[in-house]
Amino acid sequence: MKQVLYRGLTALTLSTALVGLSTSCTKDLDQTPKYELTPDKVYVGLTGYKQVLAKLYGGFALTGPSGPGSGDISGIDAGTSDYIRQWWSAQELTTDEAVIAWNDPGVQEWHKMNWDASDPLTRGFYSRLYYEIATCNEFLREATDDKLSSRLSGGEMEQGKLFRAEARFLRAVAYYHVIDLFGNGPFVTEKDPVGGPLPVYNTRQQLYNFVESELLALTADLAPARTNEYGRVDQAAAHGFLARLYLNAGVYTGTPQYAKAATEAKAVIDAGYSLNTAAAAPVSSAYGRLFLADNNLAPVKNEIIWPVIFDVNSVQSYGGTTFLVNGSTSGADAIWQRLVGQTTGWGGLRTTSALFDKFFLAGGDTARDRRGRFYTRGQTLAITDLSQFTQGLGVLKFRNVNSAGAAQGASLNFSSIDFPMLRLADMMLVYAEAATRGSGDRTTALGYVNQIRRRAFGLPIATPSAVADITDTQMTTDFILDERARELHWEGSRRTDLIRYGKFTESTYLWPWKGGVAGGQGVNAKYKLFPLPASDLTANPNLKQNDGY
């Protein structure tokens, strides 16, 4: 069952997950942990190590040890502090793909692109990232060869080393998100002594070098592709995040690495994963089935390389896919609620006409393309007031029903949809973009794009189609950007994509309310990065603020 990875997690609190954390993230990284239990009482055999490893995975889904309303970082509402919710918001609310109706502190600033170093959401996600890094570091301090050999039997050592590799991967992902969102920042590993000097400041290039070296090593150290238990990462996940790192290397370091991006993406594509082509009629198309509540089962799970697990009964959070389902559903529309498998709605998230138009323009066909599914009843396409939920279309992507159409939320109103952090179609589009930029084989890339488009149109993916297929001439770099929007919308990649294409802050591409005006406007280039929180700069004089803040 999907919740097996987190089994026993709630019993293992260790104060707040092995490290006592305060408001300042710089302090979090450097303070002496305050344990309710000593490491020797926790890391007892392989079971003890796996329970703590579950906490590291749970850091992407859960917010605290005492249920969905508890928080393990301070300075931000517990439900809002969820890793997926914060990362998704930073990647989507700042772009053409999503707006939000609520007026909580910092929320509207993200879409209007006028945040500052005191923004509570920016500070909250920064703290969440470094909290994950801190818990991974603490695990790694207890997973050296010497400590593993003293606590595990000879036959358990290989599993212990595998757990250690997974912890390194999860830390690398958190540092990757620091690179992408903040660029520069404090840097601490398990080799730094607890209670030692304040964390050093690393530039974006330095953090990039660290993440690259870790992921390269993990392509060998993790379990072979498709051999680990559901919800845990393997070598394909390391190749996949390397592909993303290299795809954006020009932004991160000034030196493009598209050939490396193509190589890493191809390693994932060739690892035995497959596009889901089985619809769940009449509930969903083959594409839509990827985002239902039983996406942990075959054949859908064969496309998802790394899912973050959510379960209505055992992995509950006000973030994650509960946020994406409930947050994008009207609380006054029972039809809408039944459609997405919940009995309530928070009335917050919608999309703009810019995303809707992608299914009409530049190769889109909303009449046939099964990926573009919008809720229009009682909604307007135009947005004149961001705070009005009825302005902007609903996005019917994440639906908390299973393939038989049975709602999973019931009275609990949490989600059982696992969030796809990495899936095959993304890797196929990474390869295709690299090919359009002069790296990779264009014929192979065109085949990948047309497989994705045939699936989107409900057609056999191995059969050429005059309806869905594009030609080599049509496969331009800009076409791939639009195809990524159609295939990957609301999956947390849009901000990064727009920055890579030079369309995020620039006036050459506008969307409703970009820059805080109805028709959109260009903004200062500083918004390509978020600022380091002012509180951390005060706490740690080693840090330097990003330009412009």
The model's pLDDT over 220-244, given as tens digits with 9 standing for 90+, comes to 999 999 999 999 999 999 999 999 9
Q: Confidence band (pLDDT; 50, 70, 90) for 6?
A: low
Closest to 412 in 3D by CA, of 400, 420, 399, 396: 400
What per-residue confidence (pLDDT) applies to 485?
98
Complete DSSP assignment for 321-336: HHHHHHTTS-TT-HHH
| pLDDT per residue as tens digits for the range 414-430 | 999 999 999 999 999 99
> 42-66 burial by CB neighbour count: b if 16+ within 10 A, else e?
bbeebebbebbbbbbbbbbbbbbbe
Give me the chain's average pLDDT, please.
Answer: 92
Of the listed ranges 69-73, 488-492, 496-500, the one predicted with least confidence: 69-73
Q: What is the mean pLDDT of residues 388-396?
A: 98
Helix or strand (DSSP H, E) at 200? strand 200-202
| pLDDT per residue as tens digits for the range 181-207 | 999 999 999 999 988 899 999 999 999
User: Is pLDDT at 543 greater than 60 in this prediction?
Assistant: yes
Q: Give the domains, in start order, of the chain with CATH numbers.
A: 8-222+530-539 (1.25.40.390), 288-498 (1.25.40.390)
User: Is pLDDT at 364 greater than 70 in this prediction?
Assistant: no
Token duo for residue 148: 């593993």
User: Is pLDDT at 37 greater than 70 in this prediction?
Assistant: no
Q: What is the mean pLDDT of residues 434-457?
A: 98
| pLDDT per residue as tens digits for the range 297-326 | 999 999 999 999 999 998 999 999 999 999
User: Is pLDDT at 268 greater than 80 in this prediction?
Assistant: yes
What per-residue confidence (pLDDT) applies to 68?
82
- Rounded distance, CA 383 to CA 373, Å? 19
Running DSSP on this structure, what letter comes out for residue 72? S
Token duo for residue 268: 């994932």
User: Is pLDDT at 33 greater than 70 in this prediction?
Assistant: no
User: Is pLDDT at 529 greater than 70 in this prediction?
Assistant: yes
Q: What is the mean pLDDT of residues 482-502?
A: 98
Helix or strand (DSSP H, E) at 395? strand 394-395
Which parts of 137-192 are beta strand (E)? 185-187
What per-residue confidence (pLDDT) applies to 14?
34
Residue type (1 letter), 180: D
Neighbouring CB atoms inside 10 A of 500's CB total 19
Token duo for residue 102: 């609520």
User: Is pLDDT at 8 greater than 80 in this prediction?
Assistant: no
What per-residue confidence (pLDDT) applies to 278?
98
Whether cis (ω within 30° of 0) applies to the bond prior to 282 is yes
Token duo for residue 281: 């009629």
Angle between helices 477-488 and 424-436 (to 10 degrees): 170
Q: How many residues does the chain have?
A: 549
Closest to 17 in 3D by CA, of 36, 45, 41: 36
- Rounded distance, CA 147 to CA 139, Å? 11
The residue written with tokens 């990779």 in the block is 440
